[in-house]
Amino acid sequence: MVAPTLSRRQALQLGVNAGLALTSLGLLGGCGREAPRLRASRGDLPAAWATQLPRSWQLQWCDDPAAVEQQQANANGRAGLLQLSDGWANGLDRAAVQPFGQPALLARLTPAAAPVARLFAPEGAPALAFPWSYGPWVLLLRDRPDLARRAEEGWQLLLDPSLRGRLVLPSSPRVSIALMEADPGRLRQLRRQALAYDDRDGLSLLLAGEAEAAVLPRQRVLPLLRRDPRLRILLPASGAPLSWNLLLRPSGGPEPPGEWLAEVLEPPLLARLLAAGWVPPLPRGQLQEALRGFPDEQAHLLLPPEPVLARCPSLPPLEAAERQRLQILWDQTAA
């Protein structure tokens, strides 16, 4: 498989797939005008929340983030809200989005969400996004209790010789580089291990038995814990890069549905989202209260200890010189 390259969207790019499938839900607005649309990629917006979208809005599903952007670029396909990860959102033309508004809603989030809401613009810049969920990348093991018992080794487990050709890595080289702390030797070893670079479909490779380990966003794997005893999820104490899920308001779009947005931060929906692996950036005390009654392992993954979470950085957009440096590093460590 051809290894990916660092593009302008390599702040946690989630992969590019060809094709587009659209399904629209909702009703047309009054006076013969089409209702505003929320455009989202499949698997990146919880169904429990999406189905509560006001009837005055339409929900439009796309196959992947690339399709979300492609449709938005179509002058006849503009949406009122876009769902994208932080990596894809950072690749948007800033002139294509407007301040999100909803200051009271954004004020409920933790300070760590503020730079993401500004799309990493300097402090004082307006919030352009609602960062409604975040989570670290985690290591998912299948039928490898021997490796799970060595969890204290952290991301070094990825270099175990037994995983040669049995490991799925993220589509984004930047994540792999961060996990190996930009060490050329370790990164070269890691790339020799890879079966595929595919975080969107890599789970299928693992569940089918073609892979034994995969580095994936937490929300994609946590719901499997109860259903599949072969699986074990590890978040090393050294932490991992964070992936954020955002809603953005394109220029000229209508006011977002504030009551619907707030539901993601409150019971009863909050508990359902947590059970599905989605964690809003709420103060720790609120999340602890919402996690009462959750199994210990699940709660620990959803809300890691503060020292571990402090070692989970967000990845802002790269300056041109840094992007080039990482591209050179990636090219030089090709397997």
Average pLDDT over residues 117-124: 96
User: 125 and 264: one domain?
Assistant: yes
Is 59 in contact with 79 (CB distance < 8 Å)?
no
Q: How confident is the model at residue 4 (pLDDT cuts 50, 70, 90)?
A: low
What integer best gives the mean pLDDT of the chain?
89
Average pLDDT over residues 199-223: 93
Q: Can you spell out the DSSP letters for 194-206? A: EEEE-TTTHHHHH
User: 168 and 62: one domain?
Assistant: no
- pLDDT at res. 73: 82
Q: Which of 16-30, 182-196, 254-268 has the lowest mean pLDDT?
A: 16-30
pLDDT reading at 323 higher than 60: yes
Alpha helices in 55-201 (DSSP H): 65-73, 86-89, 103-106, 113-117, 145-148, 173-179, 184-193
At 36-62, the pLDDT tens digits run 999 999 999 999 999 999 999 999 999
User: 215 and 325: one domain?
Assistant: yes
Residues in the chain: 335
User: 235 and 327: one domain?
Assistant: yes
Judge whether 1 lies within some domain: no
Judge whether 237 lies within some domain: yes
User: 235 and 297: one domain?
Assistant: no
Range of the domain at 56: 24-134+242-310
Give the C-alpha separation, 332 to 184, whole Å. 8
Judge whether 6 lies within some domain: no
Q: How confident is the model at residue 76 (pLDDT cuts 50, 70, 90)?
A: low
Give the C-alpha separation, 222 to 317, whole Å. 27
pLDDT reading at 87 higher than 80: yes
User: 125 and 256: one domain?
Assistant: yes
pLDDT reading at 209 higher than 70: yes
User: 231 and 283: one domain?
Assistant: no
Give the C-alpha separation, 182 to 164, whole Å. 20
Q: How confident is the model at residue 7 (pLDDT cuts 50, 70, 90)?
A: very low
- Output the domain CATH number for residue 164: 3.40.190.10
- pLDDT at res. 187: 98
User: 118 and 44: one domain?
Assistant: yes
Judge whether 13 lies within some domain: no
Q: Number of folded domains in the chain? A: 2
Report residue 188: phi and psi, to 5°. Answer: -65, -45
What is the residue whose two structure tokens read 């620990």? 300
* Structure token digits, residue 202: 């890599």
At 279-298, the pLDDT tens digits run 999 999 999 999 999 999 99
Q: Can you spell out the DSSP letters for 265-331? A: TSTTHHHHHHHTT------HHHHHHHTTTS-HHHHHHHS--HHHHHT----PPPPHHHHHHHHHHHH
User: 129 and 252: one domain?
Assistant: yes
Judge whether 327 lies within some domain: yes
Contacts of 292-301 spanning 24+ positions with Cβ under 8 A: 295/226, 297/225, 298/222, 298/225, 298/226, 301/138, 301/218, 301/222, 301/225, 301/233, 301/235
3-state secondary structure of 151: helix
At 218-241, the pLDDT tens digits run 999 999 988 899 999 999 999 999
Closest CA to 52 of 270, 283, 296, 285: 270
User: 140 and 114: one domain?
Assistant: no
Give the C-alpha separation, 302 to 327, whole Å. 32
Judge whether 10 lies within some domain: no
Give the C-alpha separation, 334 to 312, whole Å. 26
Judge whether 19 lies within some domain: no
pLDDT reading at 128 higher than 90: yes
**Secondary structure of 241-275 in the HEC alphabet?**
CEEEEEEECECCCCCCCHHHHHHCCCCCHHHHHHH
Closest CA to 258 of 48, 56, 16, 21: 56
User: 29 and 126: one domain?
Assistant: yes
Judge whether 5 lies within some domain: no
User: 209 and 68: one domain?
Assistant: no
At 154-179, the pLDDT tens digits run 999 999 999 999 999 999 999 999 99
